[in-house]
Structure 1
Amino acid sequence: MAKPPLSMKPTGWFQVAWSDEIGVGDVHPMKYFDQEMIAWRSESGDLTVMNAYCEHLGAHLGYGGTVQGEVLQCPFHGWQWNQQGRNVCIPYEDRPNRGRRIKTYPVVERNESVYIWHDINSRDPFFEAPDIFADFGDDRSAADYFPQQRLFRQGLQMHPQYVLENGVDFAHFKYVHNTPIVPVFTRHDFDGPVSYVDFTITFEGDDGQKIEDINSGVEAINGGLGIAVTKSWGMIDNRTISAITPVDESTSDVRFMVYIGRPAGPSATRDPARAEAKAHEFGAEVIRQFSQDIHIWAHQRYSDPPALASSELEGFTAIRRWAMKFYPDGRGGSAAELAATDSR
C-alpha cells in the first residue's frame, strides 16, 4: 500500500480489545499507536490500560506482571503500580518512588469492547464513544439480539479514515456489494466530533427498481475516526460496529461486530435453535460484505486530492473537512485540499 499522507496518530476513541478477552486478574499485552501497552483487570473488576514498561528498569509488565488486588506487580523486582500508573510499593524500601509514573489512557467498556482515548497532546476526551443500542434511541438492548458475531484482522496496511469515507461513498455499493440500486443519502451531519449519516438502500431486487420504492436503509453514527455503529431498518434487523485502530505508522487492526435481532412471535419460541442458526447465517453474510470492503482498503492509495465526480463532491468534501478535527499534528490532508474546502 502507498503510505497515506495522513497521521497514524489521530485523536479519538479506539478499540484495543474485547471486554471478554480480559478477565479478572488478567494482564493483556498489545501494541497500538507505536506504543507497547497492557490492559489489566483488578480483582474488583476495574480495567486499566497503560504503557507496558516498568519505570524502574524497563521490564515489560505484559510478560510476567501479576495483578495483586487493585495493583499490578512487576515480574522483575516486585514494584507495584496502581490504576493511575503511580508506584505505590517498592518491596525492599520504606517508601515508593513518587517521581515516576507510567502513562495511562482513559478507558471505557462499551459494546462488549474496550476503547481507549488517544491524543498526542494528552487532552481529555471531548466526545463519547458511541453506544450501539442507547445512541439510536429506540429502547432496544443486547437482550433483543443474538450474541455478537465478530471479525478480527490484524496488521492491515490501511488507515481508519478509509473506513469513514466509505460512509459517504454511495457508488461503491453497486460495484463492491452488488446492490441492485445506488443508495441515496438522506442525512449528512458533520457539525460535531460525532457525525451522522443516513441512507436508503436495499440488497434485494433488480435494476428495474426505483429509489422511491425502497423501504429500507441504514443509520450510521461515527464516533471520530475510530468507531462507527450502524442500525439497519426495513430489512434483516442488524446492528454493526466497525473499529479501526492504528498499530504503527503503516498498519491498523480491524474489528467488526454484528448483532442480528431475535425474531418475535411463536415461530421463534417453537424452534429457537433454527432461529439462532439463521441469525448466524445472516451475521456471516454481513461480515462477508464488510470483508469485501477490507480487501479494497488494504490495497488502496489515498488520493489527495481525489478525482471526484460532481455527485460525489459534497459528501467527500464534508467528511474530509470533518476528519481534520482529529489530527492535532496537522497531518490530516494537503494544504491545497484544506484551502479548497475552506473556500466553499
Structure 2
Amino acid sequence: MVMGKDLPQVRDPHRPGGEPERELPYPSSWFFLALSRELTVGRVLTRRLANEDVVLYRTADGRPYAVRPYCPHLGAHFGSGGFVEGRNLVCPFHHFAFAPDGTCAGTPDGRPPRARVEHHTIRERNGFVFGWYAPDGEPPAWDAPETAPPEVCATASWHTEVHAPVQELVENALDYRHLPVVHHVTLKELEAPQAQGPYMHARLRLGPTGPAPLAKFQVDHSFLVAGLGCLRIEHPLPPLGVVVYLWALHTPTGPARTRLQVATACADIRPSRPTAASLLRRPMHRALARTMLRIAVSKVQGDIRIWNAKRYEPRPRLTVGDEAIGLFRHWARQFYPAP
C-alpha cells in the first residue's frame, strides 16, 4: 500500500550534512495558540503560526483577539510593547489605537488615518485559544470543535518544540506498530478508525507489556482527531467515577517545526451541580490531571527523540497492520492545497 504526494526537496540546515528532506506544506486547520489562562485581560502575547508571528490580546470585556503583528502606520510590532486600553490594542511606537474590528480608532494628537490591522479567526474551547490557518487565506471550512464538555478546562499542561511537520505527530496516534516497541504497551482495536469530514474517531484498549498479572491494568481510550491540529484522548476510570481528558495540540511554527502542547483535565463521569462534595473532589481531579500529564510526557519523550531525527516519507512502503496509517494519509489530503 502506498500513500502520499510528491513534494519538493529542500536543504535543511538543522540536519547533519544538510540532507535533502521532503517538506510538507502547511495544512489548513484550527491550531492551538495559547491557554485561556495565559491570555488574561489586558495581556498581549506573541505566538508563532506557519512561520509568522501572531499577536493575541484580551480586551476589558474578556474577549480574545488575534492580529497580524505589524502596525499599518509605520510597522511597529504590537507584541513588542503594545498594550490594551479598554477594547483597543495600542501600538507601542506612536500609540495609535485599533478597535476590535481592526480599524484605527484614535491617535494621541489628531484624526485617525484610514488604517486597519488584519485579524485571525479564533475560538476558545476547553481552556484553549485556537486560530484558523489556511494557506490560501480562505475562511474556516469547519468550526473548532468542543473536544470535551464545555465546562471542562485543561488544568495541567506542558509544551516543547519538535523538528517534524504537524502531520507526523498526528499520524503517530495511528501507528499501532510503534506502541509495544517505543511505549511498551499492548493494543487491541475496539473500534477501527472512522473518518467523518475533518474528524477521525477510534477506540483502543491499551495495557502494559510484561507478565500476565499486568494484563488487568488495561484502559480503554477514545480518540478524536480534529484536523491536523488537535488530538484528544478520553480515558474513563469507572472505579474512581472520573474521566481523564488528554490533548495533544500541534501548531506549525516553521518549516518542519511544530510546537507540541500536551494538556490534561479530569472531571466526574456523571457531572452534577456544584455541591460541597463535588468541590472537595476538585483537588483530586487536579492531582489526577497532573499525574496523567507526567505519564503522557514521559511516554512522548520516546516519540520526540525519533521525530527529531527522522524524515517524512511521502510514499511509505506500508504492510499488513499499517492499514490505519494508510487511512490517515488518505484522510489528511483534504487539509492541503491542491497540487
The question of 1:224 aligning with 2:239 is answered: no
Query: Offset at 1:273?
Result: 6.6
Match of 2:244 among 238, 246, 253: 238
Q: 1:34 matched to which residue of 2?
A: 51
Identical-pair percentage: 24
> Aligned letter for 1:322?
W
1:302-328 alpha-carbon deviations (Å, 9 max, x no partner): 12211212221x322211111111112
Match of 1:48 among 65, 82, 106: 65
> Aligned letter for 2:86?
G
Q: Distance in 2 between matches of 1:170 and 1:207?
A: 21
1:30-74 alpha-carbon deviations (Å, 9 max, x no partner): 222111221011111111101111011101111121211111111
Structure 2 residue matching 1:105: 3-state secondary structure: coil
Query: Offset at 1:262?
Result: 6.0
Structure 1's unaligned 5+ residue stretches are 136-140, 331-344
Q: 2:158 matched to which residue of 1?
A: 151
Query: Offset at 1:277?
Result: 4.8
Query: Offset at 1:286?
Result: 2.4
The question of 1:294 aligning with 2:304 is answered: yes
Cα 1:287–1:262 change in 2 (3 A) is farther
Q: Distance in 2 between matches of 1:278 and 1:22?
A: 25
The question of 1:6 aligning with 2:16 is answered: no
Structure 2 residue matching 1:58: 3-state secondary structure: coil
Structure 1 residue matching 2:62: 3-state secondary structure: coil
Normalising by structure 2, what TM-score?
0.82
User: Does the 8 A contact of 2:184 with 2:209 survive in 1?
Assistant: no
Cα 1:277–1:35 change in 2 (3 A) is closer
Cα 1:276–1:22 change in 2 (3 A) is closer
The question of 1:285 aligning with 2:295 is answered: yes
Q: Distance in 2 between matches of 1:272 and 1:90?
A: 47
Match of 1:121 among 136, 140, 162: 136
Match of 1:106 among 121, 126, 137: 121
> Aligned letter for 1:151?
W
**How do residues 1-344 of structure 1 correspond to structure 2 at under 5 angstroms?**
3-7=21-25, 9-94=26-111, 96-98=112-114, 100-134=115-149, 141-142=151-152, 148-154=155-161, 156-179=162-185, 181-184=186-189, 186-203=191-208, 206=211, 216-233=219-236, 237-261=243-267, 277=287, 280-312=290-322, 314-328=323-337, 330=339
Q: Distance in 2 between matches of 1:269 and 1:72?
A: 38
Q: Distance in 2 between matches of 1:280 and 1:245?
A: 22
Query: Offset at 1:254?
Result: 0.8
Q: Distance in 1 between matches of 2:55 and 2:280?
A: 46
Structure 2's unaligned 5+ residue stretches are 1-14, 271-276
> Aligned letter for 1:97?
P
Query: Offset at 1:220?
Result: 1.0
Query: Offset at 1:128?
Result: 2.6
User: Does the 8 A contact of 2:126 with 2:152 survive in 1?
Assistant: no
User: Does the 8 A contact of 2:56 with 2:65 survive in 1?
Assistant: yes
Q: Distance in 2 between matches of 1:208 and 1:322?
A: 38
1:227-252 alpha-carbon deviations (Å, 9 max, x no partner): 11111236884211111111112311
Normalising by structure 1, what TM-score?
0.80
Query: Offset at 1:157?
Result: 0.9
Q: Distance in 2 between matches of 1:259 and 1:63?
A: 33
Cα 1:287–1:240 change in 2 (3 A) is same
Cα 1:13–1:278 change in 2 (3 A) is closer
Cα 1:148–1:37 change in 2 (3 A) is same
> Aligned letter for 2:230?
I
How many pairs are equivalent? 312
Cα 1:183–1:176 change in 2 (3 A) is farther
Q: 1:341 matched to which residue of 2?
A: none
Q: Identify the range of structure 1 (188-197 vs 229-238) with the bigger mean alpha-carbon deviation.
A: 229-238
1:69-111 alpha-carbon deviations (Å, 9 max, x no partner): 11111121121112232222233333x332x322211111112
User: Does the 8 A contact of 2:264 with 2:289 survive in 1?
Assistant: no
User: Does the 8 A contact of 1:29 with 1:39 survive in 2?
Assistant: yes
Q: Distance in 1 between matches of 2:225 and 2:45?
A: 27
Query: Offset at 1:263?
Result: 9.5
User: Does the 8 A contact of 2:265 with 2:286 survive in 1?
Assistant: no
